[in-house]
Amino acid sequence: MITYVDYVDSNFTTPSNNDMLDELNNMIERESFSKGADEQTYLGLKRALTMATERNFVVVFSDEPGNVTDTDLKQEVIDLVKNTNSKVFFLMRPHVRQNGPQSPEEALQEMKDNFDEIGTVIDIENHDMQETLNQIINELNKSQICDGDDG
């Protein structure tokens, strides 16, 4: 059903930024990016966010804009992100698709249009991973996810 959720670990910790960078690079290398699937991104995010409590750091790797026709489900995910004080990052590889965007820039814009209300969309095809990690860390530090307040 939602194959990429099968790979989600409930707890992921790295001791340093360099270890996190290595782990992100390893995840990208393992991802096949098969360029062709009907991804159920909203359903996967809903499942991941309802399995956790709060202050979730969710990373979605994809090359597809996802199935975005269900606006009610999208709103549920937006509410879950807000109510759980979670941060979602979409590490995307935009590409030209048949009957879709005719340039990588158009593909990235489609992804941003679909996911910007939920989280941060980052083009990893044209981004240095250290720069991507720095952007993620900066956004996490500005968010409630890293405020250290357990109460």
What is the number of other CB atoms lying within 10 angstroms of the CB of residue 131?
11
List C-alpha distances in Å: 85 to 61, 118, 126: 21, 12, 29
Is the per-residue pLDDT at 32 higher than 90?
no
**Surface-to-core class of residue 47, CB atoms within 10 Å of its CB (0-12 exposed, 13-18 middle, 19+ buried):** middle
Looking at residues 71-82, what average pLDDT do you find? 93
Alpha-carbon span 134 to 132, nearest angstrom: 5
User: Residue 61 pairs with which residues in a beta bridge?
Assistant: 91
Q: What is the predicted pLDDT for the residue at 5?
A: 43
Is the per-residue pLDDT at 99 higher than 80?
no
Q: What is the predicted pLDDT for the residue at 87?
A: 92
Q: What is the predicted pLDDT for the residue at 137?
A: 86
Mean pLDDT computed over every residue of the chain? 78
- Pick from 99, 11, 84: which is nearest to 45 by CA? 84
Contact of 95 with 89, CB cutoff 8 Å = no
Q: Counting runs of H as helices and runs of E as strands, what totals does the chain give?
A: 5, 3
Is the per-residue pLDDT at 116 higher than 50?
yes
Q: Helix H segments across the chain?
A: 17-30, 41-51, 71-83, 104-115, 129-142
Residue with tokens 């030209």: 96
Longest dimension (CA), the chain: 50
Poorest-pLDDT segment among 18-22, 35-39, 95-99, 137-141: 35-39
Alpha-carbon span 147 to 136, nearest angstrom: 15
Tokens representing residue 17 in the block: 């930024």
Residue predicted with more confidence, 31 or 89? 89
**Surface-to-core class of residue 41, CB atoms within 10 Å of its CB (0-12 exposed, 13-18 middle, 19+ buried):** buried
Poorest-pLDDT segment among 99-103, 113-117, 124-128, 144-148: 144-148
